[in-house]
Amino acid sequence: MVPIGNYLFLSLALFIIGVIGVLTRRNVIVILMSIELILNAVNINLVAFSRHWANVDGQIFTLFIITDAAAEAAVGLGIIIAFFKNRETVLADEMDLLKW
Amino acid sequence: MSALLEFLKTYMWPLIFAVVIVAVLPLLAGYVVLMERKIMADMQARLGPMRVGPHGLLQPIADALKLLIKEDIIPENADKVVFWFAPVISVTAAMLAYSALAIGPFFQIAELNIGLLFIVAVSSMGIFGIILGGWASNSHYSLLGALRSTAQMISYETAAGLALVGGVLLAGSLSTREIVQAQHGGTWYVFVAPIGFFLYLVASIAETNRAPFDLPEAESELVAGYMTEYSGFRWAVYFLAEYANMIVVASIATTLFLGGWLRPFQGTPWMDFLDFFPPLCFLAVAGYCFYRTPKQPEPIQSMVMALFGGLCLLLAAAMALPFVPAFAASKPGLHGAFWFLLKVSLYIYSFMWIRFTFPRFRFDQLMKLGWYFMIPLSIVNVLGLGVYRVLRQLQWSRWPAFVLTTGGTLLVAIWLVWNAQKKAAAPSSVGDMTEAEG
Amino acid sequence: MSDTRTTGFPGVEQTVLGADEIIINMGPQHPSTHGVLRVKLRLDGERIVDSECVIGYLHRGVEKIAEHRSYQQFAPYVDRMDYVAAVSNGLGYCEAVEKLLGTEAPMRAKVVRTILTELQRISSHLLWLGTHAIDIGALTPLFYCLREREEILKIFEKYCGARLTTHAFRIGGLQYDTYDGFEAETKRFCLDFSHRVDEYEALLTENRIWIARTKGIGVLSAADAIDMGATGPVLRGSGVKWDIRKAMPYAAYDRYEFEIPIGQNGDTYDRYIVRMQEMRQSNRICLQAIEDIPAGPIMGKVGKVLKPPVGEVYHSIEAPKGELGYYIVSDGTTQPYRVRIRPPSFINLEALDKMIKGHLVADVVAIIGTLDIVLGEVDR
Amino acid sequence: MTPAQISQYAFYFFAALAVVGAIGTVTVRNVVHSAIFLITSLLATAGIFLTLGAQFVFAVQIVLYVGGIMVLFIFVIMLVNLDVALHQMQFKRRWWVAGLLALALGGQFGAVIYYSRAGGVLEIPAARTGALSPQNVQQFGLALFEKYALPFEIASVLLLVALIGAVVMTKKRV
């Protein structure tokens, strides 16, 4: 049985890589994908603790997080498409107007 | 080393089954293609492949060899790595799905308690093979074909998934084995949920991109869709994935709606003579092969024909084995596999029949059918089956419950069709075309 | 996210999501443009805003060739225009020259010509039906159609030795009399054929997908059809009752009873129905004609060297695709001074732009199919 | 090799795969490749769920995350123009500042985990009532529809809102 610390370190690694992606990349799509990575890291934590405490609640929260990720992806990608239509770019630092 | 041996010993049967599936599936897919060509030819007043082997029996092997030794063309500016592994994703997804399917009570790689969900999940991965292949080809035809294909598969996967939920609701389990066992002695779910079966049939045709939903490969519009730039063996791998997927959806439908490996009329004693059907069936095929053997034009063809006859004879003997008391235990495994594969074949035959009969939908019509008809109806179907279960729990007998729920779902279906027709409102009917002159 | 409308249409260098219009090329090597037609489409998303036909890929200068051939020598050339209806082409040309000469073919020749031309109409429509169906995605009708077409081609082959470019008729009548068993074979085919049409109709006419793909697609109003000069099934599909076989009878058509099927809405489905009915009517004509082929000579009185008087003539017939007209000017020599051909496909093709506007790209395939064009005839 | 051992090896394999996929996601230039790496990472995570005995979450992860969300991502990547974006700078100008900050954050979290493990906080608790049943799906379903019925409904409303929002935003002309 793998100790829970290992799961936590894995989750941490994914989380940090996700954060680095969000902070350093310019492409909004990659930023969104990095956010997915972060959510994923959280999911690992939840499931690991769910087994740790022998309680299914953590897994249910995972389901909610995945639902949330789907909603976020739909809206986020919708915004990207709408933005791309108007400005023809997907770079975060060019999204510098509050309206267009 | 001993650890490895122990591993092999523990998982001997699953490993053997896995190897069998990986080895046999391409051959099987090849022969499904041959059968498709033969059936198509029969329906179109032709003979089909006749040259390679007697009645074209060796055609799949010749085709595979030809594809293997063809030049491997990768288009310029293509994304080579993605181009290389996209077909592999497709075929892997299709093959992985077999790991949870039970071909007979004995032949199953892994019994999973999320069996059906696992199959759906894994086969949804096949989309990536298509979309990445279309993208990596660096061709507009491919990309457009891939996007169409993906949009279509996602839309119809929803309907197919909801249709499956109906069946799962009745069985009360996701495990393929338990679903089949739940139908044992009772009625197959196709008779309890005919609308669910119909929905799955249509959705699975669309999901496997076959006519009349074969828009991604609409030859008259998009050449060959996402496969346009593929040739040689990579193309064959895509083709294999397509046919493997067909077998997967047919297996799912068989498991969930057609009673899996169960013999028809399992519960009725006087129908037990059906037990003799499997060996007799093979015996008849073998007899026909031998009857045709002397009529072949070439001696080598006669030999191959006799070989096939012998093979069928062997299979007949295998099917007759359970009637020997010493081997009676092998009956569920052997006959189960026979009935399962027979049902799968019939399901695939209906695919082919539909393909050769209907024209192709237009893309917007296809999407409309998916979103405005299939998905609402499958939601209502799930609702109806839920009501059916509750009614059965309330000690209703089968027929009133069935008529009530299926009738209700059917009414919704009619309403949906009627509504769509009202919306489309064709300008006027064609009426009588001819008029007598003078 | 079904917004696939501006991605990667073939022939477009860059696709930008915001772009409103793109231009794509269909053909000349497209599998369903029936030869070498090239259509430039301007699209708004997948909807067609504008189109332009580019033709001439199969131009062979048939009209010019005529000026350097004697009248008889030119006769085989017309077979190469509408190569799926060579017999009809030959009939039009022979009758035009006969008119110019002021002679007429004997009755027996006329009846045989009528039978062969009607068989040719059936075979042309069969080929149209098969390819049209396969364009829309129905695989099977093609093979049924080819099966029956094969019977017709066998009759042609037995009659004149050729299947496709038959050169069946001669100026002044026929070169060959009918072969033994011609009547019996043709009659057997005709009696069988009406059931075959039922078979095709069983596959398509009531098919919901077929109706969805053809009804309301490529609508051409009667007024537009007349303005564009469309003829044949395209015109009749729009509800105009115009058939040269009735209006200005030629060959032996005035001897037989038949009806002119017309449509109402002028859409692809109506044209399909019209052609199906036309096959039945052609069959009916054949059956009537085969019953009594008058005895007598097969060749009228025409000399070995044809020298028509100075003058001009226009003669048109109802070819399977519409009005096929020949305008011949004679300067009194053995060679025509000018031959101008009015090809039905070429003129019907003009309606394409009107018909595909506002439809989807997938409908273009159906609409090109319903026009029943042969590029050999369009380009000549 | 016992099943426990297998699941141990599987964990390390999937963990390595997940980390490699994640690194690939944020570093490669081509967005499609980035998405492929992310898919790898998500699939590896699904495998990790399997080693944790969460079969239902494993299936949901593949169906929803990989089969749904990632297809959406790839769709959008193909809709927006790629060729231009390829030649642009992929990282922000002061990326190293952000990177350092993120690493510092990671160091903190790592220290927390490390010391709590050393301190025995992460030991299997004595109060644990029993192992998760192998009938994961049943347990999951019961909890979801009894204890968490309301959150479930709220989540579905959230999805509906997102759906409508996405449709409205991407409409051609609002």
Residue-range definition of the domain harbouring residue D174: 133-174
> CATH number for the domain including D13?
1.20.120.1200
CA–CA separation, C145 and C234 (whole Å): 21
The per-residue pLDDT for A42 is: 92
Q: Helix (H, G, I), strand (E, B), or coil: what is residue B397?
A: coil
pLDDT at B434 > cutoff 80? no
The three state secondary structure string of chain C is CCCCCCCCCCCCCCCCCCCCEEEEEECCCCCCCCCCCEEEEEEECCEEEEEEEECCCCCCCHHHHHCCCCHHHHHHHHHCCCCCCHHHHHHHHHHHHHHHHCCCCCHHHHHHHHHHHHHHHHHHHHHHHHHHHHHHCCCHHHHHHHHHHHHHHHHHHHHHCCCCCCCCEECCEECCCCCCCHHHHHHHHHHHHHHHHHHHHHHHCCCHHHHHHHCCCCCCCHHHHHHHCCCCHHHHHCCCCCCHHHHCCCCCHHHCCCCEECCCCCCHHHHHHHHHHHHHHHHHHHHHHHHCCCCCCCECCCCCCCCCCCEEEEEEEEECCEEEEEEEEECCCCCEEEEEEECHHHHHHCHHHHHHCCCEHHHHHHHHHHHCCCHHHHHC
Helix axes C71-79, C86-101, angle to 10 degrees: 160
Of the residues C1, C20, C21, C44, the best mutation for testing chain D's interface (the one with the most D CB atoms within 10 Å of its CB) is C1
D neighbours by CB contacts (3+ pairs under 8 Å): A, B, C
Q: Is C92 at the interface with chain B, CB within 8 A?
A: no
Residues D67 and D16 in one domain: yes
- At residue C14 the predicted structure's pLDDT band, cuts being 50, 70 and 90, is very low
Phi then psi for D36, rounded to 5 degrees?
Answer: -65, -40
Class of domain C103-304+346-379: mainly alpha
Mean pLDDT (whole number) for C344-359: 85
pLDDT averaged over every residue in chain A: 83
Q: B10-22 pLDDT, tens per residue?
A: 778 888 888 888 8
CA–CA separation, B408 and B342 (whole Å): 32
Residues D93 and D139 in one domain: no
pLDDT at C13 > cutoff 50? no
Q: Report how far apart, in Å, the C-alpha atoms of C361 and of each of B155, C59, C310 are.
A: 21, 27, 51
The per-residue pLDDT for D1 is: 60
Q: Which of B125, B128, B119, B100 is nearest to B161 (CA)?
A: B119
pLDDT at B1 > cutoff 70? no
pLDDT averaged over every residue in chain C: 82
pLDDT at C240 > cutoff 70? yes
**Cβ pair C33, C368 in contact under 8 A:** yes
The per-residue pLDDT for C31 is: 64
Mean pLDDT (whole number) for C22-38: 73
- At residue B99 the predicted structure's pLDDT band, cuts being 50, 70 and 90, is confident
Phi then psi for C174, rounded to 5 degrees?
Answer: -125, 150
Of the residues A85, A87, A89, A90, the best mutation for testing chain C's interface (the one with the most C CB atoms within 10 Å of its CB) is A85
Boundaries of every domain in chain A: 27-92
* C7/D78 Cβ within 8 A: yes
The per-residue pLDDT for D128 is: 56
**Cβ pair D159, A67 in contact under 8 A:** yes
pLDDT-wise least confident of B102-116, C145-159, D120-134: D120-134
Mean pLDDT (whole number) for B391-405: 83
pLDDT-wise least confident of B184-188, C277-281, C354-358: B184-188
* D78/C3 Cβ within 8 A: no
**Cβ pair B199, B252 in contact under 8 A:** no
pTM, two decimals, is 0.84
pLDDT at B357 > cutoff 80? yes
- Chain D positions touching A71 (Cβ under 8 A) are 158-159, 161-162
pLDDT at A60 > cutoff 60? yes
CA–CA separation, B354 and B202 (whole Å): 10
Query: Looking at CA atoms only, how far is residue D156 from chain C in angstroms?
Result: 19
pLDDT at B436 > cutoff 50? no
How many degrees, rounded to 5, is the angle at CA B359 between CA B358 and CA B361? Answer: 115
Query: Looking at CA atoms only, how far is residue D54 from chain B in angstroms?
Result: 10
Boundaries of every domain in chain C: 4-54, 103-304+346-379
CA–CA separation, B335 and C315 (whole Å): 75
- At residue D172 the predicted structure's pLDDT band, cuts being 50, 70 and 90, is low
Tokens of C16: 């930008």
pLDDT at C2 > cutoff 50? no
pLDDT at D122 > cutoff 80? no
pLDDT averaged over every residue in chain B: 82
Q: D74-92 pLDDT, tens per residue?
A: 888 887 765 665 666 667 6
Of chain C, the percentage scoring pLDDT greater than 70 comes to: 93
- Chain D positions touching A30 (Cβ under 8 A) are 25-26, 31, 34, 90
Burial pattern B322-358, b for ≥16 Cβ within 10 A else e, equals beeeeeeeeebbbbbbbbbbbbbeebbeebbebbbbb
Residue linked to tokens 């994304």: B79
Of chain B, the percentage scoring pLDDT greater than 90 comes to: 1
Option in D53, D64, D102 nearest A51 (CB): D53
pLDDT-wise least confident of C19-33, C77-91, D53-67: C19-33
**Cβ pair B216, B146 in contact under 8 A:** yes
- At residue C286 the predicted structure's pLDDT band, cuts being 50, 70 and 90, is confident
- Chain C positions touching B158 (Cβ under 8 A) are none
- At residue D44 the predicted structure's pLDDT band, cuts being 50, 70 and 90, is very high
The sign of the dihedral angle between the CA atoms of D48, D54, D59, D61 is negative
- At residue D37 the predicted structure's pLDDT band, cuts being 50, 70 and 90, is very high
- At residue D19 the predicted structure's pLDDT band, cuts being 50, 70 and 90, is very high
Mean pLDDT (whole number) for C75-83: 85
Query: What is the second-level CATH architecture of the domain A27-92?
Result: Orthogonal Bundle (1.10)
pLDDT at B438 > cutoff 50? no
Q: B135-175 pLDDT, tens per residue?
A: 888 777 777 778 878 888 888 888 888 888 888 888 888 88
Q: Chain D: residue nearest C5 by CA?
A: D79
Q: B359-371 pLDDT, tens per residue?
A: 888 877 888 888 8
Question: What is the value of ipTM here, to two decimals?
Answer: 0.80
pLDDT at A73 > cutoff 80? yes
Using DSSP bridges, classify how beta strands B434-435 and B107-108 pair: parallel, antiparallel or unpaired. unpaired
Size of interface A-D (CB pairs under 8 A): 237
Query: Looking at CA atoms only, how far is residue C123 from chain D in angstroms?
Result: 47
**Cβ pair C215, C267 in contact under 8 A:** yes
**Cβ pair C193, C148 in contact under 8 A:** yes
Residue finishing a domain among D80, D97, D114: D97
The per-residue pLDDT for C351 is: 85
pLDDT at C152 > cutoff 80? yes
CA–CA separation, B262 and B335 (whole Å): 9
The per-residue pLDDT for C17 is: 45
Mean pLDDT (whole number) for C18-47: 72
CA–CA separation, B333 and B313 (whole Å): 19
Mean pLDDT (whole number) for C322-336: 87
Size of interface C-D (CB pairs under 8 A): 20
Quote the number of domains for chain D. 2
pLDDT at C160 > cutoff 50? yes
- How many Cα neighbours within 13 Å face the side chain of C194? 12
- Other C-beta atoms within 10 Å of A65: how many? 17
- Chain A positions touching C17 (Cβ under 8 A) are 81, 84-85, 88
Of chain B, the percentage scoring pLDDT greater than 70 comes to: 94
**Cβ pair C151, B49 in contact under 8 A:** no
- Terminal CA-CA length for chain B: 97
Greatest distance between any 2 Cα atoms in chain B: 97
pLDDT at A50 > cutoff 70? yes
Q: D49-76 pLDDT, tens per residue?
A: 888 878 888 888 888 888 888 888 888 8
Option in A6, A25, A53 nearest D90 (CB): A25
CA–CA separation, C319 and C325 (whole Å): 9
Phi-psi group of C161: left, alpha or beta (phi > 0 → left; psi -120 to 50 → alpha; rest → beta): left
Q: Chain C: residue nearest B436 by CA?
A: C259
Helices (H), B44-79: 59-68
Tokens of C225: 């059809």
pLDDT at C15 > cutoff 50? no
Q: C123-139 pLDDT, tens per residue?
A: 999 998 888 888 888 88
DSSP structural state of residue A25: B
